[in-house]
Every structure is written in structure tokens, then in C-alpha cells.
A and B are shown apart, each in its own frame.
Chain A
Amino acid sequence: RKEVEQDPGPFNVPEGATVAFNCTYSNSASQSFFWYRQDCRKEPKLLMSVYSSGNEDGRFTAQLNRASQYISLLIRDSKLSDSATYLCVVNIDRGSTLGRLYFGRGTQLTVWP
């Protein structure tokens, strides 16, 4: 079973729409959670960290449900520039040493005019 599972999409939405991505992780020892954005043929870039209390950055809201091992990303008022692949990322802390990050395969979003 993969450490991080995401719906690959694609999601095709009009400008101004609200879109939500979901992600599940398999290891309850996971400690840190992130959403990364990857544009076509570019490197991934950190979009936002995800905290237990939920957090918001402008039009983007991330939520974490530890009991269900579930992470979400909500994008409101979609812009054309939001078109990209969104990667769900989880760190599994190995006790005395920080573990590595595990990446989901990504969810592709296309926003059309």
C-alpha cells in the first residue's frame, strides 16, 4: 500500500470555481504534512504546510484529520494561474531522526476561462 494516496484527476473547472482535493496517508506516525504545487516540466514548490487546526493562505485552505488520516486542500475563486499538479506530501518521523518526505502522485488541475 502506498504511503500517500491521491485522486489523480484531472479536475477541469471554470475560473471562479471552488475545487477540493483529498489525500489519505497510511502511516499513523506521520508528523508533518504539506501541499506542493508542480507546474508542467518544472520542479515542485511548497504551497503550504498543513496543521492540525487547519490553516488558510488567501484563497487556499488546508485541513488535516488525524483520526481519519486525511488531508484536504480547498481552492476558492480559481484563477487560470492555479492550473498545475498538486502534490500531497507527508513526513514520517522516525523517532530520533527526521524521516523522509513521501509524495503522492499528484492531482492535476486545469482552470479554464
Chain B
Amino acid sequence: DGGITQSPKYLFRKEGQNVTLSCEQNLNHDAMYWYRQDPGQGLRLIYYSQIVNDFQKGDIAEGYSVSREKKESFPLTVTSAQKNPTAFYLCASSALDRANYGYTFGSGTRLTVV
């Protein structure tokens, strides 16, 4: 079955460390997205990519980096420059088709700074 897979489900990071969150999709979707969700808050866009080897900053890109070397993969690195990284991170993908434009989400990664 096609889907979008995020790993790990839970991640603990020490202050000052960089960590990378994985996101892989086999839906043949062109676009991929990273969102952050804090308790009681809406989804905030970190980065998105609509084509391989190209990506754009979202609303809260500072302290994060991404790459899009393959259509299927869009890893997110949370760097030590991100001052408050504890959150629920969601990856999504979509087909760039106006007739059917909705996101499919992965099950998320909960990142905690210890």
C-alpha cells in the first residue's frame, strides 16, 4: 500500500545536538512538506519542496534544514540553532493536481529536548 512514513516515532535530543527526522513516501507525489505542531497550536510550515533538488522556506525555517535529493525522500534536520525544538513534527506530501489537491500526512515524530 502506498503511504508516507516518518521515523523515528519518538526522538530525544540533548541540547546542542543536531538531529535528522526521516520522511519517505511511495505515493509518487511531487510535493513534500514539513510542519511543526505545538500543544494547542495549529500547524506551522517549516519547509516545502515541489520538485527534486529545490525547496522553499516556510514560516518558521530558522534553525532547520532540509534536502530533496530524491522524489521519495525529504529529511528534516533540526539544528542546535533551533532554540525550542520540542514539538510534534509532521511530514506531508501531495500531488500537484488541481483537481485533487490534498495532503497525506505521515504519523509524525515527537521530538523532546532533554
Q: Using C-beta atoms within 8 Å of the partner chain, give the interface range for chain A.
A: 20 to 34
Q: Is the CB of B101 within 8 A of A100?
A: no
Q: Is the CB of A106 within 8 A of B42?
A: yes
Q: Is the CB of B102 within 8 A of A46?
A: yes
Q: Is the CB of B106 within 8 A of A43?
A: yes
Q: Using C-beta atoms within 8 Å of the partner chain, give the interface range for chain B.
A: 20 to 34
B-side residues, CB < 8 A to A, are 31, 33, 35, 41-43, 45, 48, 50, 58, 88, 90, 94, 96, 98, 101-108
Q: Chain A residue with minimal CB distance to B100?
A: A49
**Looking at chain A's contact residues, is the secondary structure mostly helix, strand, loop, or mixed?**
strand
A-side residues, CB < 8 A to B, are 31-32, 34, 41-46, 49, 87, 91, 93, 97-98, 100-101, 103-106
Q: Is the CB of A97 within 8 A of B50?
A: yes
